Amino acid sequence: MAASRNTDEDLGTYDYVVIGAGSAGCVMAARLGEDAAARILVLEAGGSDRSIFVQMPTAFSIPMNTRRFNWGMSTEPEPGLGGRVMNLPRGKGLGGSSSINGMCWVRGNPIDYELWSALGAEGWHWANVLPYFKRLENVPDGGDRRGTDGPISVSRGCQSNPLYQAFVAAGQQAGYAVSDNMNDLQHEGFGPMEMSVGRGERASAAVGYLRPAMRRKNVRVIQNAQVDRLILEGRRVTGVLFTRNGRTMRAQAGRDVILSAGSIMSPTILKRSGIGPAEELKENGIAVIADRDQVGGNLMDHLEIYLQMECRQPVTLFSHMSPLRKALLGARWMLMRDGLGATNHFESGGHIRSRAGIVYPDIQYHFLPLAVSYDGKSMVSGHGFQVHVGTKRSKSRGWVKLRSADARDLPRVRFNYMTHPDDWQEMRACIRLTREIFAQEAFAPYRGQELAPGADCQDDACIDQFLKDKVESAYHPCGTCRMGTDDAAVVDPLTMKLKGIEGLRVVDSSVLPQATAGDLNAPTLVMAERAADLVRGLSLPSAEDAPLLADPNWATCQRSPQITRDYAQDRDTLRAALLENTKTPKNNQPTGE
């Protein structure tokens, strides 16, 4: 292993050392700290999340593009996209990516968790996961399957813009189901979206979990702590070596180190510690403690494309994009915590299937009454609207690899986007099915010309080139320390322990065996909630009312106005269909270099 700098300070021993104050790390610190006798140390590479731009929901593109809150990563050239280098923002600071994301609150489809279980994540089926969603949510008037007093506030926008209703109506006119709440009984269909916003402010993991935990005094947080590596005695992790303000420091863990640095940095830290593919470790001068081939492999993400339309009526958010209107919007938010500053503007959306034979939705829509890029850097000059649409279970797999053994060097990341042929079929369906929805009568009063990709882009070759040039990440990386019961899996799903290593648990989006059908923050939080109980030897009772709804004719129909079949009593049939739908590359290995 590469030589370390001299240790300047030993912080002593804590019961748990949590690496990362992102979404999962905040949950772990809070829940483990509920034991007043336990001493918790949290190491966060970034700094404070206190900023008006983090708090104000409408301003989320600002922290997403600010080095104070973002690691500033980008991918290696992506071979499936003609060598494009893609932006890869990852949260850095208290709250992690929950402090810079778009705040879309999407549990995913209940069948997602049945798929986790089918892929080897034993114990992670929907009836076991639902009680933890209820524990973490604070949803006003939530109902039986929602939480009403949890740490994360969940709300809806006021949907005052008529385009939100037009989008849902158009989906219904195209033959799809409508759902009153896509986070409750019925995920499939079109309806209002929810956001992790409470009282007009971003409800990050730092706000909901970490700050209350810190007030207990048994949870200590050290900011600007760059973790170098884990300290191992044989195959047992005993502590963490990190750097802060130029000084090398160490902290010991009496019980466990909890690695919650995220899907990119968790495998990076493991590799610097000698846990990972032996050949890669040796190439970087690192002694091999445990040869684990899938550490850093199996990398997944969601891709999406924008379809943009001209709007013939001046009802879009473009009216509020002048400096004066933005200032007025901000002033109202600062005084009242309401208005357009208190929403992420993704107030309606949908979940559909790309073709017949798919059990549950693999396409997601976020509708926006403005034509603008997700990062806010480019906007159409005029009134327009758009949907962000993409597939949710891509079969392409990528990797995270060391650039060097030096903790100051960010890793190399390649997703291998669009390197599986099925991904092209599904993304073409995204464009064609969306055009059909925009062509419905509900949009007739508003629909102008198609701005992107443009009405002349019709054949597969043109659509494929548009995708290759314009597709973007939805910023949902996961899977690089996959949990499962098979020998190749990295993490034990029953304990969250890294297999073959004592004293180390991995709890963050890296352990997800499959990306869910929606945004990833809610699934990451619920995973951490349940993981915290597994670490403590606890478990909430399974939910008795946990339906698994699907279109009864999914095998032969791509869409249906009724999503009525409940597979809760026929999980074996469901499991077989899911595994057939989601066959991945041989041995679940990353493709490409």
Extract the annotated binding site for FAD.
Answer: 227
Fill in the DSSP letter of residue 208. Answer: I
Report the alpha-carbon distance of residue 72 to residue 547 in Å, rounded: 41
**Residues 577-593: b if buried by 16+ CB within 10 A, e if exposed:** bbeeebebeeebebbbe
Taking the mean position of all CA atoms in its chain, how far away is CA 83?
25
Fill in the DSSP letter of residue 534. Answer: H
Using alpha carbons, select from 311, 281, 306 the residue that is nearest to residue 296: 281
3-state DSSP assignment of residue 559? coil
- According to DSSP, the β-strands at 412-414 and 399-401 are antiparallel
Report the alpha-carbon distance of residue 132 to residue 146 in Å, rounded: 10
Structure tokens at 222: 């050290």
First CA to last CA across the chain, in angstroms? Answer: 24
Structure tokens at 157: 């926008």
Q: What share of residues in the chain are helix, strand, coil (percent, to 5)?
A: 30, 25, 45
Contacts of residue 141, Cβ cutoff 8 Å, sequence gap at least 6: 148
Report the alpha-carbon distance of residue 66 to residue 61 in Å, rounded: 9
476 is catalytic: yes
Structure tokens at 30: 């809070």
Fill in the DSSP letter of residue 145. Answer: T
Beta bridge partners of 550: 565
Ordered alpha helix ranges (H), 294-368: 323-336
CB neighbourhood size of 572 (10 A) = 9
Q: Which amino acid is at 274?
A: G
Report the alpha-carbon distance of residue 448 to residue 382 in Å, rounded: 12
User: Is the dihedral angle over the CA atoms 562, 568, 571, 573 positive or is it negative?
Assistant: negative
Structure tokens at 182: 């896509």
**Residues 219-257: b if buried by 16+ CB within 10 A, e if exposed:** bbbebbbebbbbbbeeeebbbbbbbbeeebbbbbbebbb
Structure tokens at 263: 């899907």
On whether the CB atoms of residues 286 and 271 are closer than 8 A, the answer is: yes
Contacts of residue 247, Cβ cutoff 8 Å, sequence gap at least 6: 8, 9
| Cα-based angle 45, 50, 53 (whole degrees, multiple of 5) | 110
Report the alpha-carbon distance of residue 408 to residue 5 in Å, rounded: 13
Beta bridge partners of 155: 195
On whether the CB atoms of residues 238 and 12 are closer than 8 A, the answer is: no
Give the active site residues. Answer: 476
